[in-house]
Structure 1
Amino acid sequence: MKMNAFLVAASLLMTSFPASAHDEGHGPKLSDTGKFGGLVSAVVEKKEAKLGPKAKLAYKAELVRSPEGKVQLYLYDSEFKPVDASTWDQKGKVSMAAKKKGKWQTKEFDVTYDGKAFTGQMPEAIGKPFNLDFVLKDKDKELLSAFDNLD
């Protein structure tokens, strides 16, 4: 009897973890598959990020990472056609964040537009899982694309 109660309690605890995860993101939920095998996320205006799934989709982004830590962020329109970002600011900022001992720690690094994607070298991960928030500038708009729970 005690074993059954223990198993029920353990099961309830394990199933409650996903409910508390940060799955809403910073924009509409997307179901697209990346063209280069990467993860796809919404790109929204940074000022709308707190709206979560109600934020207006500006673009779609695909994050491709190499084992050596190289990151490439490809941008697409709403129909998943490549976006020419050559008129945008050529440098973007990326914030890596991870919880360590209950506190958020962050590192920042730059990405540069190479004509096809915003590319950069990711620093060593603070901890796992970690989040990457890309901030890019298109004329007078600051845009955000967030990738959460990476390892």
Structure 2
Amino acid sequence: MKQFLALSAMTLLVSFNAAAHDEGHGPKLADTGKYGGLVSAVVAKVDASKGTKATLVHKAELVRSADGNVSVYIYDQDMKPLDIKSFDAKGSASLAAKVKGKWKTTTFDLAAKDKSFEGKMPKPEGKPYNIDVTIKENGKELLSAFDNLD
């Protein structure tokens, strides 16, 4: 009986941990990127815990190159590019990967440049990994999550 209870508790904990980031932040999107990247919802950071029920503010496209450079393009809800001059000039991103069963997070900076936010991501220590992008528009923190990347 003790083994059954221990196994049940362990299964429950693992299931919560496995679903912790899979749902993402904001509604699911089916849009395709204009630069060959992945498209994700942009939501108010304070609403991130609402998961798929968070209100869509904008859309973001994450484009990664082989040398670790990333570009994040911001679009309105109809996938029309937004002028990034309306955003703060600096943003941040965090790369999270499971290493030996534990999540390890590394942050890196993004800077507004021409039509996107650009930065150099650190080499992921595990796969798949997640990248969360935080930018500010009119003093409001916004978040876009890109999950299960490899």
1:85 positional shift: 1.6
Equivalent residue number for residue 91 of structure 1: 90
Equivalent residue number for residue 115 of structure 1: 114
* Residues paired across the two proteins, number: 134
- The within-5 A match list for 1:71-86 is 71-86=70-85
* C-alpha distance in structure 1 between counterparts of 2:114 and 2:138, whole Å: 17
Equivalent residue number for residue 5 of structure 2: none
**1:65-93 alpha-carbon deviations (Å, 9 max, x no partner):** 00111100000000110011203211101
SS in 1 for 2:40: strand
Equivalent residue number for residue 40 of structure 1: 39
* C-alpha distance in structure 1 between counterparts of 2:141 and 2:19, whole Å: 29
Equivalent residue number for residue 24 of structure 1: 23
* C-alpha distance in structure 2 between counterparts of 1:94 and 1:21, whole Å: 18
* C-alpha distance in structure 2 between counterparts of 1:20 and 1:108, whole Å: 22
SS in 1 for 2:84: coil
* C-alpha distance in structure 2 between counterparts of 1:131 and 1:57, whole Å: 20
Which structure 2 residue ranges, 5 or more long, are not aligned?
Answer: 1-14
8 Å contact from structure 1 (residues 106, 126) kept in 2: no
* C-alpha distance in structure 1 between counterparts of 2:96 and 2:46, whole Å: 19
**1:121-148 alpha-carbon deviations (Å, 9 max, x no partner):** 1111121111100000111210000001
1:50 positional shift: 0.6
SS in 1 for 2:85: coil
TM-score, normalising length: structure 1 = 0.84
**1:15-41 alpha-carbon deviations (Å, 9 max, x no partner):** x9xx85843110100000101110000
User: Judging changes above 3 Å, is the alpha-carbon distance between structure 1 residues 93 and 20 closer, same or farther for their aligned structure 2 residues?
Assistant: closer
SS in 2 for 1:105: strand
**More displaced stretch, 59-68 vs 85-94:** 85-94
Equivalent residue number for residue 104 of structure 2: 105
1:116 positional shift: 0.1
Runs of 4+ in 1 over 2 A off after TM superposition: 19-23
Q: Specify the structure having the higher radius of gyration (Cα).
A: 1
Identity of aligned residues (%): 60
Which structure 1 residue ranges, 5 or more long, are not aligned?
Answer: 1-15
* C-alpha distance in structure 2 between counterparts of 1:98 and 1:147, whole Å: 12
Equivalent residue number for residue 67 of structure 2: 68
Q: What is the RMSD of the two structures over their aligned residues, measured on CA atoms?
A: 1.6
* C-alpha distance in structure 2 between counterparts of 1:32 and 1:25, whole Å: 15
